[in-house]
Amino acid sequence: MNKYKAFGLLVILYLYVLLPSSHSFIADEFEDDNFYYDAVYFVVNSEDQHPQLHSFHDNQDVDWIMFHAISGTSYKVSTSNLGENCDIAIKIYDTDGVTLIAERDKFGTGIGETIEINFKKHGLYHIKLNNFYSNNTGENTQYFFYIEQTTGDLLGNIIGYVINIDTNIGIEAVSVSIGNRTVKSLNGIFNSVFYKSLYGMYRINDHEKGTYQLTAEHEHFKRTNVDVNVAQGETTIKDLYLHPILIDVDKNGEFDIKDVVIALKTLAGFELSDVHKDNVQFSDILIIFKYLCFQNLNE
């Protein structure tokens, strides 16, 4: 081996061993959740909510999780099955996402942490998890996360998203009813901050066990009825899929760009036949545009 090849091998060895690793690791399925308003929602007391598997794929990676807590109720927040390079630190924040109310980092790498806490008020709370040794990233930094209710009344809850069946996007302001109780699906705004995990979500708390009918209603979607089974002490996850009402403005039996043009001209004051002017609103045009854009993306 000549001296140039030997020198080249030494340089490569130096870069690989002595310099910080430049390996890129695949992020876990819950990323990007590095800020409290990007937190992943955890459903407490649901048989469909399994422990979440997280990891730290780079030295900037932290994980945020949020959940609903009921006043006067205690919950256990825990991590388990840690990788040998994971030293987990848990911090619980108030409903504003910034006021620290509890933290735990007692053990070292590979050992889980647990916080049991009683909440004095009902609300949406935030949990931050980070690797104490932030330079430990990628391989063997995984951990399982779980929340369970330990005290308090154990009535049933129902939670889910209202979703446009054509676009698979959440829908806000949908009335979701069960018996004489009605809630609205959320627009994602909580404490003046937008949470992507809350958009289109609905939640019905403290319901008696049994089988009931859920009804979802919105002026631009077909009314939907589904059966739901509420179990005592559990949270049932039930997503609701709604079909949009297509607006055939020109009454020709088709839904296309002509409907958009006619609707726009009507609102602009053009003289069109009465059948074209009936009940045309700006919200109708938005629905038409959204539908046509979705159709074009899928052609």
Domain housing 209: 156-242
Total number of domains in the chain: 3
- CA-wise closest residue to 260 among 219, 223, 290, 288: 288
Length of the chain: 299
Q: Among the three residues 126, 149, 172, which one is the final residue of a domain in this structure? A: 149
Q: Let me know whether 144 and 164 are in one domain.
A: no
Report residue 230 as tokens: 């509420």
Residue 172's CATH number? 2.60.40.1120
Is the pLDDT confidence value at 292 over 80?
A: no
Residue 44's CATH number? 2.60.120.380
Cis peptide before 63 (omega within 30 of 0): no
Q: Average pLDDT of 218-235?
A: 94
Residue 274 CB neighbours (<10 A): 6
Question: Quick one: pLDDT at residue 175?
Answer: 98
- CA-wise closest residue to 93 among 130, 59, 131, 57: 130
- Model confidence pLDDT, tens digit, residues 13-26: 444 444 444 445 67
When pLDDT is cut at 50, 70 and 90, the band that residue 271 belongs to is low
- Quick check: is 250 in a domain? no
- Quick check: is 15 in a domain? no
Residue 227 CB neighbours (<10 A): 9
- Quick check: is 109 in a domain? yes
Q: Let me know whether 203 and 86 are in one domain.
A: no
Q: Among the three residues 105, 126, 149, which one is the final residue of a domain in this structure? A: 149
First-last CA distance in the chain: 59
Q: Let me know whether 194 and 119 are in one domain.
A: no
φ/ψ region of 221 (left if φ > 0, alpha if ψ in -120 to 50, else beta) reads: beta
Q: Let me know whether 161 and 269 are in one domain.
A: no
160-164, 227-231, 295-299: least confident range: 295-299
